[in-house]
Amino acid sequence: MGKKVNWVLDADIRGFFDAIDHGWLIKFLEHRIADRRVLRLIQKWLKAGVSEDGQWSKTEVGTPQGAVISPLLANVYLHYVLDLWTKQWRTEIATGDLIIVRYADDFVVGFQYRSDAERFLQELGGRMQKFGLALHPDKTRLIEFGRFAAENRQKRGDGKPETFTFLGFTHICGRKRQSRGFIVKRKTAAKRLRAKVKEVKERLFRQHHDPIPDQGLWLLRVLRGYYTYHGVPGNTECLATFRTLTARNWLKALRRRSQRNRMTWHRFAAIVDLWLPKVQILHPYPNERFYAKHPK
């Protein structure tokens, strides 16, 4: 927040968890862990191998994605490969504002100037290669994004500003309703929404013979959890879509119980109002929650 961002680097590391170099990882861990016994245990775990269909294979690089310790080791690895390097780059090379947001191996970088963005992207590729990593050529892109993106692109005849997806949200250049000031709109990524709707639908059809209160209690928890993560300002439409599709699939599942006594919409509407919570925006705008400043 409060940074002058006109360009965004939407980066993707190709096969990150499968490409972590064990030698570099142990060196990084030695900066933080003095107990050699702990380091030996981690080395044994990294070299334990993988068993698939009864066949054991040795692992020379990478950590099993999904394992409990993998996210922790991934954060340590990228802290030295990316975070500290970016901090130094911002201090010594950048001519304008630069901000990076990273979660595990997903990260986006915002720049004030295009020249900084292009140089950073070029040098980032070399930095990644040094530690056995590589940016995905098809999923890594530099886009014009920010307060002046729409105006600048309109002058060039390039159409609307591009969007990018990060942590399940599609980020869009938008305007406030009243003041028409710039705002970053966040909407649930369409792919993420479809996947969740499908997941809930499949379970509803599997358990359609369960008592309605049991199904309703489960759906109550699902929607509350969904609102807790996706309930950000400006995302009301996506939340309402998820609730509507969930209710529709629930009705279809209940109607499969019997061919004689079909569930009517009038009766079902009361069940929906009882068990499915209304759409809620549970998060404030980012500038109300935190205001992060990074010293040059």
Cα separation values, 110 from 42, 142, 210, Å: 35, 10, 49
Using CA atoms, how far apart are residues 126 and 232, in angstroms rounded to an integer? 37
What amino acid is encoded at 230 in this protein? Answer: H
Pick from 55, 58, 57, 23: nearest CA to 42: 23
Q: Name the token pair of 151.
A: 């105006």
Q: Name the token pair of 243.
A: 């609730």
With a CB cutoff of 8 Å and minimum separation 6, the contacts of 30 are 39
CA dihedral of residues 57, 61, 65, 71 (deg, nearest 10)? 140
Residue 13 CB neighbour total at 10 angstroms: 22
Using CA atoms, how far apart are residues 11 and 167, in angstroms rounded to an integer? 12
State the distance between the two ends of the chain, measured CA to CA, in whole angstroms: 15
Q: Name the token pair of 6.
A: 């006109």
Residue for token digits 């500038």? 287
Burial of 83 (0-12, 13-18, 19+ CB in 10 A): middle
Reading the chain (296 residues) residue by residue, the pLDDT tens digits are 567 899 999 999 998 988 999 999 999 999 989 999 999 988 888 877 666 666 766 677 787 666 678 888 889 999 999 999 999 999 999 999 999 999 988 999 999 999 999 999 999 999 999 999 999 999 999 999 988 888 888 888 888 999 999 999 999 999 888 888 888 999 999 999 999 999 999 999 999 999 999 999 999 999 999 999 999 999 999 999 999 999 999 999 998 887 776 778 888 999 999 999 999 999 988 777 665 554 44
Residue 287 CB neighbour total at 10 angstroms: 9
Pick from 12, 18, 7, 143: nearest CA to 82: 12
